[in-house]
Amino acid sequence: MSGTSKAGSEKTRHDRSEDGFSEQERAAMKARATELRAAARGDRGAKKAAADEAAVLSAIAAMAEPDRALAERVHAVVTAAAPELAPRLWYGQPAYAKAGKVVCFFRSGQADKERYSSLGFSVEANLDEDDGMWPTAYALTRLTEASEAAIRKLVQKAVR
């Protein structure tokens, strides 16, 4: 036997509904559906880029502290390090895309009910290491000059 008790399995499912998704997961799916509908409307070029950036800045402004401050700094570092990345929402959170594909993204810890926010990289990021192993997400609780420099290097490597 595995030794798992019924009480233990109930604890892991405490915030999931009968359909299997938590409130946060359902909210992220709804946000993604809204993003896809907006993309289907057909805005192109500068108008779309401006609307996408405004949506990202609005999502950041709606975050509670300290996530808002973290997201603002991540946004500033990413956009300065790789101006070719286009800000856009991805599952309701700030993300940065190249040729329409998300390369990196910020996840609010408070929105996810986690003790830290995260900076993640998608499969589109060129972070591969020769030894076949590399991180794809980083926990963020605060940013220092050193961590901002590390993010800058990662983003620049990711878009190469």
Q: What is the mean pLDDT of residues 46-69?
A: 93
Q: What is the pTM of this model?
A: 0.75
pLDDT (mean) for 114-140: 96
Query: In whole angstroms, how large is the CA radius of gyration of the chain?
Result: 18
Report the candidate in 118, 125, 124, 48 with the shortest Cα–Cα distance to residue 87.
Answer: 48
Token digits of residue 139: 């926990």
Q: What are 32's two structure tokens?
A: 């993604």
How far is 86 from 95, CA to CA, in rounded Å? 8
Mean pLDDT of 50-57: 94
Cα 109 → chain centroid:
10
Confidence of residue 18 (pLDDT cuts 50, 70, 90): low
